[in-house]
Amino acid sequence: MLEQVNSYRTTESDWKLENQLFSALNPVKPDPVFVNRLEERLRTQPAIVLEPGSLLGAYLVIASGLFGGVLLIWLLHLIFYGLEKLASH
């Protein structure tokens, strides 16, 4: 790979293209204050603060899931076995 780069010869058309690109594209001059602030933010680790969780919320989610599961099983049992008992009478 390095040999290919070293063996490449610059031609006149390459220089013309380079000059056309240089004249067509304006170099960007970024705001130094912005660059410095961005550099500082990227170099320093952000402080991460986690709020303490609420056990009440966790208990409510677990209780709701258990209640919903038991209710679903009871309804399915009532639908499949309860209808058979009504049909046999």
Number of domains the chain contains: 1
pTM of the model: 0.38
Q: Whole domain around residue 43: which residue ranges?
A: 2-88
- State how far the Cα of 53 lies from the Cα of 40, in Å rounded to an integer: 32
Q: pLDDT in tens for each of the 89 residues of the chain?
A: 444 455 567 788 888 888 888 888 887 889 999 999 999 999 998 888 878 878 898 899 999 999 999 999 999 998 888 777 766 66
**Helix, strand, coil tally for the chain in percent (to 5):** 75, 0, 25
Q: What is the pLDDT of residue 51?
A: 80
Q: What is the pLDDT of residue 19?
A: 87
Q: What is the pLDDT of residue 1?
A: 41
